């Protein structure tokens, strides 16, 4: 079995069919917090992704995949918030005390600035 080609030596196929030689490994080109991942797709899904990149305003397949992941992360966070809200609605009610209101007010002021101040 042939030895794998190091990442920096791999040739990349662009969406228009041209081959390019990366200057740096893909994980280095985007910074130290990035890594790479290979995904196997059926031909029809690969064609769909390439079409979305070409017509959808994405710079690359990686940009498209990152956007899909961000959308999924937002959806997951929304679902988690809904679950917490439903749990709160099902919990026994309690009245807000003056201390609760003060804590809420102080938190909002700290987060958004002094009351009555608009920019």
Provide the pLDDT for residue 8: 41
> pLDDT below 70 — which residues of the chain?
1-29, 116-119
Quote the pLDDT of residue 48.
Answer: 95
Within its chain, how far is the Cα of 2 from the centroid? 36
Report the pLDDT value the prediction gives residue 15, as an integer from 0 to 100.
53
Domain range for 12: 1-36
**43 and 76 share one domain:** yes
Same-domain status, 17 and 50: no
pLDDT of residue 23: 43
Q: With respect to residue 17, please indicate whether it lies within any of the assigned structural domains.
A: yes
**How many independent structural domains does the chain possess?**
2
> Which residues have C-beta within 8 Å of that of residue 49, sequence separation ≥ 6?
41, 61, 64, 65
């Amino acid at each position: 079995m042939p030895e794998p080609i190091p990442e920096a030596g791999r040739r990349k196929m662009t969406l228009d069919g041209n081959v390019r030689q990366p200057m740096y490994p893909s994980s280095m080109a985007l910074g130290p917090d990035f890594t790479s991942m290979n995904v196997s797709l059926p031909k029809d899904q690969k064609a769909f992704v390439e079409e979305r990149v070409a017509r959808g305003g994405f710079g690359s397949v990686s940009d498209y995949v990152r956007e899909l992941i961000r959308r999924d992360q937002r959806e997951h966070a929304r679902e988690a918030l809904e679950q917490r809200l439903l749990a709160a609605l099902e919990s026994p009610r309690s009245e807000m005390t003056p201390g609760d209101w003060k804590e809420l007010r102080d938190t909002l002021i700290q987060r958004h600035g002094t009351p009555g101040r608009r920019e």
